[in-house]
Structure 1
Amino acid sequence: MNRESVDAVRSKELNKPGRLAEFLAGGLWPAAFFLGAYFLLSIAVRLMLPNGLTLDEAEQALFSQHWLAGYGPQPPFYNWVQNAFVSVIGISLFSLTLPKFLLLLLCYLFFGMTAREVDARPGFAAMAMLSLLTLPQISYMPQQDLTHTVAVLMATSLFLYGLFRTLVRADWQGYLIVGAAIGIGMISKYNFGLLPASAVIAVFCDREWRARLFDPRILLTVIIGLVIVFPHALWLRGNLDLATSGTIGKMVEANAPHGLVRIARALGSLMLACIAFGALTVAIFAVAFKREFTRSLNAGDRWTRFLGLMMAGGLVGVVFVILFTGTTKITERWLDPYLLPLPLYLLLKLERAGIDTTSHLRRFVPVFVVIMLVTLVPLAGKTLTGGLTGSYTRINYPFTSVAEFLKADGRPAVIVAAGMNLAGNMRLQFPDVPVINSEQPIAGFPAANAMKGPVLAIWADSGRPSGSPPIDLSSVDRLGLTASPAKSLLRPYYYGDGKMQLNLGYLWLR
């Protein structure tokens, strides 16, 4: 074989897609399998860490004791999903972790199905699915905590699939999916409501698609959405302050300015949130496609115009929220429903510029793999190195050791804990014992005829002895029990330096 033939063969070999890229180019299901393996690894990493719960995990553990139409500042969809898993497999760290990653997998899958409605090539659907990894809100943040946000991401992806299906085929199934997605989205996060509103505006701006809004089958969308939302809407009527106080409180800074200064600060916060949300994705695409990316910015068709209008509509809605509320702070998490389509938007722009994005999958696979590995490191790294850095996560809290000590002192019939995190951890450690959060008790729980002693009361202790214990015990007053003297319980943090300790106070009512 001559030199030219050898070079030709070598060039051909180098240009062959890698095995993983070739597998992923198979489309929706190979990409879903790949992501499923990543999420199984994510679950395994979490299960290898101590079972001290993050704040969101603790909330789910505590609320999994009861089925309610509303639980507080957050809508109940994720709680209902969590409760279903706990009902089937019991309360455990595994049952608290599994629903989140299943919903995340569905988010990626529905996004790939959305892309497939626009471009039937298997590689394009895979590229769209995996490009979600470039959004830190989708890849990194759920690894740290998050529950309700994951639910709204899944609902947004489902909504996009139903919407695109309706625009392409206009079948009744598409209208049904849109209705289900709107219902689920509205009971996942209240800010989801701006997404269907912006979609209606974007559809109306297209002369041909406008007819979809007046199709009689849209009644199916309305009915399905209302049926899903109805139970929570009834609860919301009597609990509006409770439902909105938490969200508004997070969006308003203490000692915030007023008037134009407030609005300017909020708009600046919105701009920074947009950059934080999408900058990494844009940078990765720009580096990968170079001049082709710059050329694609002027390309487009009705799909890119539609997605651009829809994303812009959501952001304009946020501006109205800023103008008509006291909002001073917008975080990138608040933009999830509106900017989730960004990777698909960029891919379609590139395609309309004549660039075959699927041929670049091999180039992107190492980026995707690095992102997947990097997102697994921070939570585990921070937990395992707490003793070296002096920075501890809630996962380092030694609640297993605390529970072992308390169980040796007796078995409680009811636990009253001060604060969500402590109450949720007590629920995990004492799975058969009703747990009450003294700071946010649920009316009627436990049932009056099921309440009995002994009662364990527990709180975070500063170590300073003072008068009465810093915990509200009015929820168990009707039992007429006598409190023992308060005691302190100190246990060293897991993976700590042996000096830093969790300090709890507790007493028994018998």
Structure 2
Amino acid sequence: MSNDVHRPWGAWLLLGLAAYFFLHVLIRATGSPTLELDEAEKMVVTQWWAAGYSGQPPLYAWIQAVVFRLLGADLWSLALVKNGLLFLTYMFVYLSARRLQGDMRLAVLATLSLLLIPQVVWESQRDLSHSVMVTCMAAASVYVMLRWLDRPTLGHYLLVGVVFGLGVLSKYNYLVFAAAAGLTLLTLPRGRALLLDVRILISAAAALAVTGPHLHWVLSSQDMASSGLEKMDFGQGIWPLSGLGEMTLAVLAFLTPLWLVMWMTFRGDFSRVFLRWQSPAGQFSLQRYLLAVLALLVILVLLGAAHFKDRWMLPMLWVFPLYVFAMMGSSALTPGRVRGYIATCVVMPALVLLVMAWRVNDWAVLEDRQRHVHPFDALAEALADRGFERGIIVSDGTFVAGNLRMHFPDSQVLSPSVAPGRLRCEAGGDVLVAWEVSQEAVLGQRLGAWVEHHLGPSASDMQRDIQVISLESWSGERFDFAVVLWPGALDGACRVGRPVS
């Protein structure tokens, strides 16, 4: 009877989330044209199709490339992809919670709890892409897995393999989520029976078919593909204390302020969640899953990982509110508690919308050195005044390169920080090398070697022709850009030879 009364809650939840993410699309697409780091990277890597681009898997780039080709390479397309994935994440969380919890209110509150996780509600909007993708795929994986546990048909075995394969293509920390889910299933009679069924080979074949091209790229591009592992600082610090400390801080940072709000709202019911052992009678034990995640993280520490970031916990720990509400049950949901918790959850996205609007508009309240104040429009005007029209733009990183593509859409933008694409060389095209400088305008060794290998001119030629363009942003900050420009220098072989004077 209770579920029938509260059935409209689910529809209102999804409708409200759709409106919320539409407002984010509107704010970002009509705000500053300066791209964030991940946005700029997508402007670079979506120019060509490849099995891999950098230290991150390619799924987000593939999806963004499709949308760019359908709607155009602009802010609208960037905002639509990100917010579409975020909406799908919340939807899959809700669908999974509804299967795991008998009370509609528990499912809705568990889903709204994501709004109290900073990495989900704020950082995912500010400047994340692969982490957004992997969280969406982890949420989709749990939902698909629950359907498979309920009805282990041949189609569900195939779907599980495809979805888990796509998860690997979203971000490599998905492997920790997948391993924890697998270990949890092995502890349950139902899970063991389905994993040991011969049909699991269909799942494995589907996953291998999805990930095969990228795995081949990883093996042939190990230097670039392994750059993500370097962020964990294997072998650094005092083993294993530094790693355990960083891991603990990352977990606490990820779950704060969520656990504080839960504790203040539900008090003793929340505290008792961690004193009970969950019965394994259900489809999937969230408690055993979370313990498996912690065990795997500790193993990473013991293997030498010394650095962890809270955003890396996204695909693993988003299930925490589902676990808490499943353990508390309907008895903890008094009307006053429900109203207070929902009100707190709703306040957070309202604040995020306001701050996001501040960030992407010229509002003096946030006059700090953030990326949106970079004067790329003024830089584009200065380059046009110097004769640059179209051609090849190269920068040391994707931030400058991607932002310049916004202003020169007919040009190809490239960077040594991502795998090289197919150079499109047109006779009469210009060559522009540009990067941001903080002090002396010196050509970086990696950038110089890349340009010399792919385009022809030597580092000494480029160093000789460097010009510095000093610009001031709307907030009064000074930005210096070093540029080397050779108008009309391209020929069909992409070897410009000596620069044109």
Residue 45 of structure 1 pairs with residue 27 of structure 2: yes
Q: How far apart are the structure 1 equivalents of 2:102 and 2:357? A: 39
Give the secondary structure class of the aligned counterpart of 1:414: strand
Give the secondary structure class of the aligned counterpart of 1:391: coil
Q: Gaps spanning 5+ residues in structure 1: where?
A: 1-21
Q: Which moved more, 1:150-159 or 1:299-308?
A: 299-308
User: Which amino acid counterpart does residue 306 of structure 1 have in structure 2?
Assistant: S
Give the secondary structure class of the aligned counterpart of 1:272: helix
The 1:23–1:75 alpha-carbon spacing in structure 2 relative to 1, beyond 3 Å, is farther
State whether residues 70 and 236 of structure 1, in contact with CA within 8 Å, keep that contact through their aligned partners in structure 2: yes
Q: How far apart are the structure 1 equivalents of 2:30 and 2:6? A: 29
Q: CA deviation at 1:313?
A: 1.0
Aligned to 1:453: 429
Work out which of the residue numbers 143, 159, 165 in structure 2 matches 1:161: 143
State whether residues 98 and 107 of structure 2, in contact with CA within 8 Å, keep that contact through their aligned partners in structure 1: yes
Q: Which moved more, 1:59-68 or 1:457-466?
A: 457-466
Residue 339 of structure 1 pairs with residue 317 of structure 2: yes
Q: CA deviation at 1:459?
A: 2.1
Q: CA deviation at 1:131?
A: 1.7
Give the secondary structure class of the aligned counterpart of 2:350: helix
Give the secondary structure class of the aligned counterpart of 1:319: helix
User: Which amino acid counterpart does residue 95 of structure 1 have in structure 2?
Assistant: S
Q: CA deviation at 1:428?
A: 1.6
Residue 250 of structure 1 pairs with residue 226 of structure 2: no
Aligned to 2:210: 228
Residue 96 of structure 1 pairs with residue 74 of structure 2: no
State whether residues 115 and 344 of structure 1, in contact with CA within 8 Å, keep that contact through their aligned partners in structure 2: yes
Q: CA deviation at 1:90?
A: 1.3
State whether residues 24 and 79 of structure 2, in contact with CA within 8 Å, keep that contact through their aligned partners in structure 1: no
Aligned to 1:429: 407
Aligned to 2:493: none
User: Which amino acid counterpart does residue 246 of structure 2 have in structure 1?
Assistant: S
State whether residues 90 and 111 of structure 2, in contact with CA within 8 Å, keep that contact through their aligned partners in structure 1: yes
Work out which of the residue numbers 195, 215, 219 in structure 1 matches 2:201: 219
Q: How far apart are the structure 2 equivalents of 1:290 and 1:234? A: 51
Pairing of 1:95-114 with structure 2 (within 5 A): 95-114=77-96
Aligned to 1:17: none
Q: CA deviation at 1:487?
A: 2.6
The 1:311–1:445 alpha-carbon spacing in structure 2 relative to 1, beyond 3 Å, is same
Q: CA deviation at 1:367?
A: 1.0
Q: How far apart are the structure 1 equivalents of 2:77 and 2:325? A: 36
Q: CA deviation at 1:183?
A: 0.7
Aligned to 2:263: 286
Q: CA deviation at 1:188?
A: 1.1
The 1:341–1:427 alpha-carbon spacing in structure 2 relative to 1, beyond 3 Å, is same
Residue 316 of structure 1 pairs with residue 295 of structure 2: yes
State whether residues 403 and 429 of structure 1, in contact with CA within 8 Å, keep that contact through their aligned partners in structure 2: yes
User: Which amino acid counterpart does residue 414 of structure 2 have in structure 1?
Assistant: I
User: Which amino acid counterpart does residue 230 of structure 2 have in structure 1?
Assistant: G
Work out which of the residue numbers 362, 370, 374 in structure 2 matches 1:397: 374
* CA shift digits 1:8-40 (9 cap, x unpaired): xxxxxxxxxxxxxx9986244431221111111
* CA shift digits 1:281-300 (9 cap, x unpaired): 22111111223323444454
* CA shift digits 1:228-272 (9 cap, x unpaired): 111101111111221112x2222118x943xxx221110111111
Q: CA deviation at 1:179?
A: 1.7
For normalisation by structure 2, the TM-score amounts to 0.86
Q: Which moved more, 1:409-418 or 1:32-41?
A: 409-418
Q: Gaps spanning 5+ residues in structure 2: where?
A: 490-501
Q: By percentage of residues, which structure has more helix?
A: 1
Aligned to 1:176: 158
User: Which amino acid counterpart does residue 365 of structure 1 have in structure 2?
Assistant: I
Q: How far apart are the structure 1 equivalents of 2:204 and 2:230? A: 31
Pairing of 1:81-92 with structure 2 (within 5 A): 81-92=63-74
Q: CA deviation at 1:217?
A: 3.2
Residue 493 of structure 1 pairs with residue 473 of structure 2: yes
Aligned to 1:140: 122
The 1:217–1:465 alpha-carbon spacing in structure 2 relative to 1, beyond 3 Å, is closer
State whether residues 28 and 360 of structure 2, in contact with CA within 8 Å, keep that contact through their aligned partners in structure 1: no
State whether residues 185 and 284 of structure 2, in contact with CA within 8 Å, keep that contact through their aligned partners in structure 1: no
The 1:441–1:143 alpha-carbon spacing in structure 2 relative to 1, beyond 3 Å, is closer
Aligned to 2:496: none
Q: How far apart are the structure 1 equivalents of 2:39 and 2:191? A: 42
Q: How far apart are the structure 2 equivalents of 1:84 and 1:279? A: 36
The 1:203–1:281 alpha-carbon spacing in structure 2 relative to 1, beyond 3 Å, is same
Aligned to 1:349: 327
The 1:28–1:216 alpha-carbon spacing in structure 2 relative to 1, beyond 3 Å, is farther
Q: How far apart are the structure 1 equivalents of 2:368 and 2:5? A: 41
Q: CA deviation at 1:468?
A: 10
Q: CA deviation at 1:467?
A: 9.1
Q: How far apart are the structure 2 equivalents of 1:233 and 1:116? A: 35
Q: CA deviation at 1:431?
A: 1.2
User: Which amino acid counterpart does residue 163 of structure 1 have in structure 2?
Assistant: M
State whether residues 162 and 203 of structure 2, in contact with CA within 8 Å, keep that contact through their aligned partners in structure 1: yes
Q: CA deviation at 1:200?
A: 2.0
User: Which amino acid counterpart does residue 79 of structure 1 have in structure 2?
Assistant: A
User: Which amino acid counterpart does residue 131 of structure 1 have in structure 2?
Assistant: S
RMSD value over aligned CA atoms?
3.0
Q: CA deviation at 1:322?
A: 1.8
Aligned to 1:80: 62
User: Which amino acid counterpart does residue 352 of structure 2 have in structure 1?
Assistant: T
State whether residues 48 and 421 of structure 2, in contact with CA within 8 Å, keep that contact through their aligned partners in structure 1: no
Q: Paired residues, what number?
A: 476
Q: How far apart are the structure 1 equivalents of 2:154 and 2:91? A: 21
The 1:379–1:331 alpha-carbon spacing in structure 2 relative to 1, beyond 3 Å, is same
The 1:492–1:128 alpha-carbon spacing in structure 2 relative to 1, beyond 3 Å, is same
Aligned to 2:498: none
State whether residues 158 and 178 of structure 1, in contact with CA within 8 Å, keep that contact through their aligned partners in structure 2: no
Q: Which moved more, 1:194-203 or 1:119-128?
A: 119-128
Q: How far apart are the structure 1 equivalents of 2:7 and 2:118? A: 23
Q: How far apart are the structure 1 equivalents of 2:64 and 2:113? A: 28
Q: How far apart are the structure 1 equivalents of 2:444 and 2:203? A: 56
Q: CA deviation at 1:209?
A: 3.6
Q: How far apart are the structure 2 equivalents of 1:364 and 1:107? A: 21
User: Which amino acid counterpart does residue 233 of structure 2 have in structure 1?
Assistant: V
Aligned to 1:210: 192
Q: CA deviation at 1:314?
A: 1.8
